[in-house]
Amino acid sequence: MKQTIPLIIVFGFGFFVIIAFFIPLSAFQDASQTFETWYTGVIAFFVFIGIFNIVKVNASKIQRRLSDWQYSIILLIFLALMMAAGFIGGPNGGVFNYLFEHMQIPLGATMFSLLAFFVASAAFRAFRARTPEATLLLIAAVIVMIGRVPIGYYIWRGFPDVVEWMMNVPNTAAKRGILFGADLGLISMALRVLLGIERSYMGGGRE
Amino acid sequence: MKFLERLENLDRRILFLLVGLAVIIPLIFPLGLPVDITRPVKSVFDRVEELPEGAIVVVSCDYDPGSEAELTPATAAFVEHCFRRNLRVYMMGLWPAGPELGNLSLESIAPRYGKEYGVDYINIGYRPGGPVMLVSLGRNVADLVRADYAGVPIDSFPLGRALKSARDIDLVMTLSAGDPGVLHWIIYFSARYGTPIATATTAIMAPQQYPYLSSGQLVGLLGGLKGAAEYETLIEMKARAVAGMDSQSIVHLLLVVFIVIGNVILLYQKRRI
Amino acid sequence: MLLILLVLTNQVELKAFDTPNDDGSSITLNWQADTLFNSYFIFKSLNPDGDFEKVCEITDRTTYVDTNVAGGQEYYYQIEAYGMDLTESSRVVGPVKAIPHIFNTARINIAVFIVILFFAVIYYITRARRGEKLFIRKIPGIAAIEEAIGRATEMGKPVLYVPGIMDIDEPETIASMSILGRVAEKTAEYGTPLYVPTSKAMVMSMAQQVVKEAAIRAGRPDWFNIDNVRYLTDDQFGYVSAVDGIMVREKPATNFYLGKFYAESLILAETGFSTGAIQIAGTALPDQLPFFVAACDYTLIGEELYAASAYLSQEPVQLGSLKGQDIGKLIFIIVIVLGVLDRLVGLDILYNLFSTVQQ
Amino acid sequence: MSTEIGVWIAALLTLAIYSFLYKDNPFYKVAENIFVGVSAGYWAVVLWFNYAWPNLFEPLIMRGNFIYLIPIIVGLMMFAPLIPKVSWLIRIPLTFTMGVAMALVILQRIQGEIFPQLQATFLPLIGVSPMQTISNLLIIFGVISTLIYFYFSKAHKGVLGVFAKLGIWFMMVAFGASFGYTVMARISLLIGRVYFLLHNWLQLI
């Protein structure tokens, strides 16, 4: 039962949605639409088990005085503050927005901007002409890097066109090939999942 | 050749420091290098130029503060252009924070052109639901949009009444930083209703859009801050994006120098073996 | 003379028909008229000479979908076109009625495509199930997964498994969960600690199940520590900041990044590199592949990610599906070649066959 | 210098994150834990108000649509693992979500990605400029050889091997180009933050 019911659910809902896609009758369309709404709702609702997990993990860290336990207190305080602000004052409330604007936004943007540095260190390390493949990677990267900025245009007026050609031709070709392959892999995996052949995602054993 | 060996094991924090300086210095002391125009940006510009006065352009702010640095300048330049051409701007967003950020641009630009809220532009705010929402939006706007971002009934605005379904939209501009975003507009909206889609994306996402550009599923593309700088140049209003271009050039050159050094080290090592 | 010509050419040609491929809730009107007209009144009636009621006014196009119809009821339509100082009526068309369709014929191309692909996969699964040996070549990135776990064990350090930042409705995440099952089984066998920080609560729930069951399968239920599979935050960069923290503090010997990634890919991979970990990445979409390729030791590219779980399982049935995928690729290649030839001779049959825009 | 507290908080947090580039330190740890706490709370609120409430609870509570009890009960099964006896019930919401999601994904990838992309690969070889003909041929070749690289059930030898190798080359050029193309974006982000520090906080520019 622990295996069968979940497998029936995956099979039933999956194939229903696929079939409903081809049947314009309102009964099918409405049911399919309802399942889609439920599914977005259920996914979102799950965030509360996440919050529960954060509290549990951090509380036990504090209780057991594991290393860096003091920081867990900070985490829990700000979590409580943000949730209280949001659920009492609503998602447009003043405190909620203030914390979002002056803490979450700059923290996110700064974390994101670390990439400027990491792009440099990765380029320094990886772009070395060790093999023919690595050489292609290196040459393509350097051409585009220079051609994309105004100074490239200064050096040679044809640079932007070369960059555009590289993006349009080899880049498009390889990415399209990867996309096709990935989509096939995806469809085959989705089918294995729907048919219950692949069940390791739910910890299920072999057939 | 001890020097090269030292470089090989260079503490990457020195790289980090150099990158930091290369950004800060040109911002304080600008160089003013010129900006060239690429075709995907020109296509967006031309499409806007071709639209008749009063055409409705949906501007979808599908980004958040994380990519604000790249997409706000593009939003501002595009909205500026729309107002200049007397097009009507219908703003929304697939990301919660997007329309709020977009609104800052609207509010600062509209007064300069004497545009009136609800008549020449409107902001219907964040629209959750991604794909499903887009499909129903194209089918019938009224099903989905009852009020603008401030909660005022949409029917009380002329522009709110004018847009009923995908057919009334002349162009969609999505400022996209990920999912849901430009891909969803293409797959769930344009593929179904045939509405032309233009986009401004973060530079990271830009290469991914080329297949859609060449297949005609996208009208045009503003890639990253560079795209915004090009658009600023096209509408002859140089602002924040153009200012950042100097730092860009310097850092790019710096990176190329790093790469050259890396390869010199490699050559030296090869010769020693 | 001129006036008569005008009148003659100004005829309005109206067509009304049941909207194809809908659930029987609308009738579509199309009309052709001279460009001199700029607005059209649409009238509708239940009988051809009864009282026509005005439905609406259209100004900017020459098509209208009437959704205010009762199923099975017959309607008649007429249009009046207005220009500068011209008025012209179309003749009455009808009867038309809206009929529900049970199959969306505009999507038949998609249906056929799905059936072919499903069939290819199922065919080879069946052959494999009958015990036929199917050859699958070695995929370097996948082979490296086991080695990397072994290395962590030798060094007595933990393994970090990052399943991407998206929820379980993304296929990459599901693929990642399947691979996690195999990785957890191995680490449990060796008794190596396995950290799985997640960015989505549902992924956490699923990963907990996967790792727990894997521990039981490996005969080491005591090895499973539920707090090692935890939720951090839904926020992309909040999540990254915490995972970076785990990397520099716990110093895992092996980092797996398998799933759907966005900009965080390089932040993770570079931080991981600085701690000296062996790194194996895999993602299906091309966006983040360049960064993983540049900064990680092995990268599973596109389809390889989906193949990994089938490959690692070494179950004949799963391997059979890989062969099915190869048939899919063959079909793609043939279709592309035919499509190009088709355009070369100017037939455009295939081109139209792959159209998806609906009216 | 700015006199706004909010700007100061933002600036200090920004610097705390940058300190990680030097090495892990208490400032970073504080910023990291604030970040995780604030953002987890933020998303809980956003997901509740934008998805869970309107999609599940509002129809039940405000409109009395009792069928919505089903998804809510299914959702509540997320807590099942807390009770060992029924812990397997967690599989019900997980499999429900996956079933719907997998089906949607298959359909949309075919309709929105595979079909248009295949169509776009049927490129004209005549009636365009010679340069365009060469480019189009290259695209067609590139797509095919990349696909061949992913061929699993044959060893990469002979003709297949040549194509697979070409496929790798195409991918390497694409990866290099994408990497180079995105460097800009990354620098833009740093420019954005430096602009904030210099303009909004220190008010130097």
Partner-chain contact D173 A170, CB within 8 Å: yes
With the C-alpha atoms ordered D19, D23, D26, D32, is the resulting torsion angle positive or negative? positive
Q: 3-class SS at C226? A: helix
**Quick check: C279 and C273 in contact, CB under 8 A?**
yes
Cis check: omega of the bond before B180, within 30 degrees of 0: yes
| Residue B1: pLDDT over 70 | no
Q: 3-class SS at B118? A: coil
Partner-chain contact B28 D204, CB within 8 Å: yes
- Using one digit for the tens of pLDDT, what is the confidence trace for D135-181? 999 999 999 999 999 999 888 899 999 999 999 999 999 999 999 88
Distance CA D196, CA D202 (A): 9
Best CA proximity match to D40, nearest among A38, A52, B179? A52
Name residue, tokens 């499909």.
B135
Best CA proximity match to B203, nearest among B73, B93, B101, B105? B73
pLDDT of residue A207: 42
**Chain D from 150 to 169: CB within 8 A of any B CB:** none
DSSP state of C38: E
Mean pLDDT of all residues belonging to chain B: 88
Highest average pLDDT, of A199-203, C38-42, D112-116, comes from D112-116
In this predicted complex, what is the ipTM? 0.85
Give chain C positions within 8 Å (CB) of A187. 114, 117-118, 121, 328
Distance CA D191, CA A128 (A): 27
Residue A38 to chain B, least CA–CA distance (Å): 11
Partner-chain contact C137 D154, CB within 8 Å: yes
Give chain D positions within 8 Å (CB) of B75. none
- Using one digit for the tens of pLDDT, what is the confidence trace for A67-81? 999 999 999 999 999
Residue C265 to chain A, least CA–CA distance (Å): 10
Chain C residue with the nearest C-alpha to that of D114: C354
**Quick check: D51 and C256 in contact, CB under 8 A?**
no
Distance of CA C53 to the CA centre of its chain: 45
DSSP code string of C288-299: GHHHHHHHSSEE
Distance CA D43, CA D55 (A): 16
Chain C residue with the nearest C-alpha to that of A47: C201
Q: Is B272 exposed, middle or buried (0-12, 13-18, 19+ CB in 10 A)?
A: exposed
Best CA proximity match to C202, nearest among D79, D54, D83? D79
Q: What are the residues facing A135 on neighbouring strands?
A: none
Note the maximum CA span of chain B.
79
pLDDT of residue C214: 92
Distance CA D78, CA D94 (A): 9
Give me the residue from C212, C317, C329 closest to A207, CB to CB. C317
HSE-up (13 A, CA, CB side) for residue C87: 2
- To test the contact with chain A by mutation, choose from C117, C121, C230, C322 the residue with the greatest count of A C-beta atoms within 10 A, namely C121
Mean pLDDT of B81-109: 91
Distance CA C223, CA C205 (A): 18
Give chain B positions within 8 Å (CB) of C262. 178
Distance CA A100, CA D46 (A): 12
- Using one digit for the tens of pLDDT, what is the confidence trace for A27-67? 888 898 888 889 889 999 999 999 999 999 999 999 999 99
**Quick check: B48 and B85 in contact, CB under 8 A?**
yes
- To test the contact with chain A by mutation, choose from C127, C198, C231, C244 the residue with the greatest count of A C-beta atoms within 10 A, namely C231
**Does any CB of chain C come closer than 8 Å to the CB of residue A137?**
yes
**Residue D60 contacts by C-beta under 8 Å, 6 or more apart in sequence?**
D66, D68, D69, D72
pLDDT of residue B146: 82
Long-range contacts of D132-136 (CB under 8 A, 24+ apart): D135/A165, D135/A168, D135/A169
Distance CA A144, CA A123 (A): 13
Name residue, tokens 């956490």.
C204
What length does chain A have? 207
pLDDT of residue C318: 85
Q: Which residue has the higher pLDDT, B206 or A187?
A: A187
pLDDT of residue D188: 86
- To test the contact with chain B by mutation, choose from A168, A172, A179 the residue with the greatest count of B C-beta atoms within 10 A, namely A172
Distance CA C140, CA C15 (A): 62
Q: Pairing relation of β-strands C159-164 and C254-260?
A: parallel
Q: Which two tokens stand for residue D51?
A: 């998805």
Chain B residue with the nearest C-alpha to that of D55: B129
Partner-chain contact C287 B191, CB within 8 Å: no
**Does any CB of chain D come closer than 8 Å to the CB of residue C331?**
no
Q: 3-class SS at C55? A: strand
CB crowding C100-133: b at 16 or more within 10 Å, else e:
bbeebebbebbbebbeebbebbbebbebbeeeee
Helix axes A105-126, D158-195, angle to 10 degrees: 140
Give me the residue from B24, B186, B203 closest to D112, CB to CB. B186
**Per-residue pLDDT tens digits of chain C, which is 359 residues long:** 444 444 445 577 888 888 888 888 888 888 877 767 777 888 888 888 778 888 887 766 778 888 888 777 888 888 888 777 777 778 888 788 888 888 888 888 899 999 999 999 999 989 988 888 888 888 888 989 989 999 999 999 999 999 999 999 889 999 999 999 999 999 999 999 999 999 999 999 999 999 999 999 999 999 999 999 999 999 999 999 999 999 999 999 999 999 999 989 999 999 999 999 999 999 998 889 999 999 999 999 999 999 998 888 888 888 889 999 999 999 999 999 999 999 988 888 888 888 875 43
Report the percentage of chain B scoring pLDDT > 70: 99
DSSP state of B65: G
Q: Which two tokens stand for residue B205?
A: 């996402």
Chain C residue with the nearest C-alpha to that of A60: C227
Residue D126 to chain C, least CA–CA distance (Å): 7
Distance CA C269, CA C244 (A): 10
Q: Pairing relation of β-strands C75-83 and C87-89?
A: antiparallel
Model confidence, pTM = 0.85
Report the percentage of chain B scoring pLDDT > 90: 47
Best CA proximity match to C309, nearest among C222, C192, C183, C199? C183
Give me the residue from D23, D40, D93 closest to C233, CB to CB. D40
Distance CA C256, CA C161 (A): 5
Note the maximum CA span of chain A.
70
**Residue C24 contacts by C-beta under 8 Å, 6 or more apart in sequence?**
A25, A26, C18, C71, C98, C99, C100, C101
Torsion angles phi and psi, residue C201, rounded to 5: -65, -35
